[in-house]
Structure 1
C-alpha cells in the first residue's frame, strides 16, 4: 500500500566499514542526506527508504571490493542505476549501502561482425544507440525512460519493441557480475549458443540485484531497418482495438510495435505533448523491413482495422513525425500525472496470453469505469502486456484502499487467465505478496537459490521473495 516517504535518518554504518569505504572511494563515499534520499526511491508510489550510505563505483573491481567489505560486516547492499524502477526495487528496506553504478558508463566494445556489444552497467540505452547509429546498428529494447542497460538486465525489461525483438531475456548474451562474496564472474562466452552447464545468464537476468550485482552486459544488436513507418488508428471502443491486435498477431504480421492508449491516456497525451489525436481508444503501430515489406504490412493492418470499426488510419512515415509520436508515448507517465497534479501515480502492469487479452482488458475496464479517481490504460498489447496508472491522493485512506483492491483484482484476473502479476515492471517489494499465488511451491526453490548464492542475505534484501 502507498505510504508517505520515510524521513532520512541514518542508523549509521559500523564505523570500521564506513572508514574502509571512505578509504577506498574518497569523496565517492557519502552519507549526505540529499544523496541518501535520492538513492532510496525510484519512480514508484512506494515509500522511499534511504540507505545509510551511497558508494559511487567506477569499476567492476571497486564493486567487488565494496561487496567484500559489506560482507565482512553483514551490511545490506542495494544496487542503483538510473532510479527509474516502479515497484520499489531500490528502496533500502533494511538500510545499508547503496552502490550507484551510473558512473560505470563506458561502451567497452562493439563488434558489428558479430552483432553484439559489451557495455558497463551504467550505460543508458539512448547512449548505446547514439554510439551505434553510424554503424547502421541499434539495440531494440525500449522501456521508455533513461534506463541503464544494467538496470534493464536486472529487471528483465522489455518495452515497445518486444513484440518483434523480444525482451532483455532474449537479448542479453553474457554478464559480468559480482557475487555476494565479492567474487567477479562471467556467466558465459559470446557464442550464439552453448550447452555448457547451468544458464547463469538467464538466472541473473530479472533477479533484481538479489543474487549478484551486474556490472557489465553483452547485448545483441540489430541492423537499422531499410524502411520504418508508423500509423495511428482510433476506435469507438477499447474492445475493437484489442480485437484488432489479437487478429494482427494471430495472422503473423511482423509488426515491430503496437501500443494501446485508452481515452484518458489520449487526452493526457494531447495536453502534455501538444498533439491533436482523436480522443478515443487508439493504437500506435510501427513497421520495420524493406520498403515493399513495410508498405505491405501497413496495408494489411489498415484493411483489418476497417473490419474492426476503425475511425481512421493515419500514416506517419517521416522520421520527425514518428519520433514525436513515440516521444509522446514514452511521456505518458508524466502526461497522466499532469491530469491531477497533486495526486500520485500508482503504476501497475500484468501480462496474459494473447488469446486472453480481450477478456482481461474487458473486465479491467469495468473496474476503471467504477473507480472514484482517474485511471489510465496503456499497453504493449502485441505481447499481451498492459499497464494501469491510478491517479490517487496519497493522503486519502479511502483512495489508497480502493487502489489496492483494484490492483489486487487486476493481478488475480491475470493469473486466472494463466498470465503473470508483472510483464515488465518486476517484483521489487511492491508485488512480493503475489509471488506465492503465481508460483506456488516454486517459490521455495527460488529461496534455495537465493540462500545458496547469498547465504548472508545482504543483496537487496526484502525484494522479490516473500518473507518466511
Structure 2
C-alpha cells in the first residue's frame, strides 16, 4: 500500500483513526477460530455513521475491500480480512443512541458489547437476553445472527432486531425496519441483513427488543449414563411445554476436563443443565415438574439452587468448558456447530460422541440442546498433520449427517470461511438467489469478500 494512499485516508477521517501499527494489524488478522490469520493493510476506527459512509466511498473509489471487526470472538473466520485491504473496527462506536424503557427497546451503535449494554439497562429492570458466551459486540452478534444458551426461550438475534441502520456499498444509508414490535410492510430486510456477516452492508445502528428481568431464577443440574439419554430428556422437557430459559448438555469427558482445569469435583457423567425464571411461584413449579420428569427418565445427581452464587456454581462446568479445552498446552482445538430437528437430536449427539471416541483424540460434545443446536470441540497436536486431518474429517461427517437429517451446517457460528463449501448442499438453487442479493448490493465485491460463498 503506497504512502499516498495512507495519507489520503488519514486526510479523510483523521490520522488518529487510521493505524498500520504492527500490533493493530496482528490483532485484526484473526479471531477465535482455527482458520489461518491474514493481516489487513490498515485498520480504521470510525466514530459515526457518516464516517463509515466516507470510508466506504473511499474504498469503492480505490477498489479496496472492507472487513468489519467487532470483538474478534467469532468462531468461523468472519472477521479475518482474507483479501487484506481495510479492517473496520467499531471500538469507538459503542454509544446507546436511545433507550426507551416504556417501549421495551434500545438503539445502540455496533461496538457496544452485550455486557456493557446490560449494565446500562439493568438499572431500569430490563435486560437483553441473547448470550453467545463471549462478551461479543452487538454489531458482531447481529452480523452472525448469534444466539447461545438462552435461544430455547428467546430465539436468535434475528428474533430480537427491530431495526437496523446500514451503510451500503454504494454509500447509501438505509433503515431496514421500525421501532414497532411487528410489521407486514415490505420485504423483511431485518432478516436479510441480520446474519449476512458484513457481506451486504455495514451495520451502524441496531434497535433491539428488551425484556423484563425475571423476579426469580432457579438453576439445576442432573446426570445420565449416555449423551443420547441427555438429548432425549431435553426433548421430553420441551414437549411437556415447560418454558425453560436455558437447557444445556455437557458430556462426561468435558466435565472431566473442566474438573482438571479448575480443580473442581463435579460428577464426571453426561450432564444436563437447566435454568428456570419467572415469578417465584412459576419458577418453583417449573423446576419441580422437570425434576420429577428427569427422575422418571432415570437421572441421577439432581441439584438445584436459586441464590446467584449457588447458581453460578452449578453452571460453572458449562461456562468454563471452552476455556478448559482451549488452554491445553501445545494443543489446538477445532470446533463446529450444527443444528437439527429435535427428533433427530439424540441420534446426532450419539453419532458425534462415537466419532470422537473412535478417533482417539480428546474432545467434547456440548450445546444448546433445547433448540437442537450442539457443538463439538476436538483437540489435536498442530505438529501432527494426521490429527488435524482427523479433526477435519469428523467435522465434515457431522455436518453432512446434520444436513441429511434436515438440519443446518451451522446453528449459530455462521458460515464465514469454514462452512462455505456446504452452502449448495444445504440450500440448493437458493444459493443463486442469495448470490444475486450480494451482486445487487455489492457489485464490486468489496464488503467482507471471501465469505459465505465459494467462487
Q: Structure 1 length as normaliser, TM-score?
A: 0.95
CA contact (8 A) 2:220 2:314 kept: no
C-alpha deviation, 1:337, in angstroms: 2.0
C-alpha deviation, 1:350, in angstroms: 0.2
Q: Which residue does 1:203 correspond to in 2?
A: 192
More displaced stretch, 281-290 vs 329-338? 329-338
Q: Which residue does 2:450 correspond to in 1?
A: 462
Q: Give distance in 2, aligned partners of 1:189 and 1:337.
A: 41
Does the alignment pair 1:163 with 2:152? yes
Q: Structure 1, residues 241-290: CA drift from partner, whole Å, max 9, x if none?
A: 11110100111111100011011211222233443210100111000111
Q: Structure 1, residues 109-150: CA drift from partner, whole Å, max 9, x if none?
A: 111111010111001000111111111110000001110000
Q: Give distance in 1, aligned partners of 2:319 and 2:421.
A: 29
Q: Which residue does 2:420 correspond to in 1?
A: 432
Q: Give distance in 2, aligned partners of 1:435 and 1:326.
A: 35
Q: Give distance in 1, aligned partners of 2:126 and 2:368.
A: 23
Q: Give distance in 2, aligned partners of 1:55 and 1:15.
A: 16
Q: Give distance in 2, aligned partners of 1:446 and 1:395.
A: 39
Q: Which residue does 2:301 correspond to in 1?
A: 312
Does the alignment pair 1:103 with 2:89? no
Q: How does 1:188-227 map to 2 (within 5 A)?
A: 188-227=177-216
C-alpha deviation, 1:94, in angstroms: 1.0
Q: Give distance in 2, aligned partners of 1:139 and 1:275.
A: 31
Q: Which residue does 1:29 correspond to in 2?
A: 18
Partner of 1:427, secondary structure, is coil
Partner of 2:445, secondary structure, is coil
Q: Give distance in 1, aligned partners of 2:320 and 2:88.
A: 28
Q: Which residue does 2:45 correspond to in 1?
A: 56
Q: Give distance in 2, aligned partners of 1:404 and 1:147.
A: 26
More displaced stretch, 435-444 vs 231-240? 231-240
Number of residue pairs matched?
454
CA contact (8 A) 1:17 1:70 kept: no
Q: Which residue does 1:405 correspond to in 2?
A: 393
Q: Give distance in 2, aligned partners of 1:321 and 1:19.
A: 56
Find the partner of 2:102 among 102, 113, 122.
113
Find the partner of 1:359 among 329, 347, 360.
347
Find the partner of 2:112 among 112, 119, 123.
123
C-alpha deviation, 1:17, in angstroms: 3.4
Gaps of 5+ in 1: 1-11
C-alpha deviation, 1:16, in angstroms: 4.3
Does the alignment pair 1:395 with 2:383? yes
CA contact (8 A) 1:178 1:212 kept: yes
Partner of 1:118, secondary structure, is strand
Q: Which residue does 2:221 correspond to in 1?
A: 232
C-alpha deviation, 1:369, in angstroms: 1.3
Q: Give distance in 2, aligned partners of 1:357 and 1:233.
A: 19
C-alpha deviation, 1:328, in angstroms: 4.6
Q: Give distance in 1, aligned partners of 2:145 and 2:441.
A: 19
Q: Give distance in 1, aligned partners of 2:75 and 2:203.
A: 19
Q: Structure 1 pair 125/328, CA: closer, same or farther in 2 (3 Å)?
A: farther
Q: Which residue does 1:330 correspond to in 2?
A: 319
Partner of 2:59, secondary structure, is helix
C-alpha deviation, 1:15, in angstroms: 4.5
Does the alignment pair 1:180 with 2:169? yes
Q: Give distance in 1, aligned partners of 2:147 and 2:20.
A: 34
Partner of 1:113, secondary structure, is helix
Q: How does 1:67-82 map to 2 (within 5 A)?
A: 67-82=56-71
CA contact (8 A) 2:46 2:88 kept: yes
C-alpha deviation, 1:372, in angstroms: 2.5
CA contact (8 A) 1:174 1:219 kept: yes
Q: Structure 1, residues 212-252: CA drift from partner, whole Å, max 9, x if none?
A: 01111111100001110000111122122111101001111
Gaps of 5+ in 2: none
Partner of 2:102, secondary structure, is coil
Q: Give distance in 2, aligned partners of 1:166 and 1:358.
A: 21
Q: Give distance in 2, aligned partners of 1:81 and 1:188.
A: 23
Q: Give distance in 2, aligned partners of 1:302 and 1:359.
A: 24
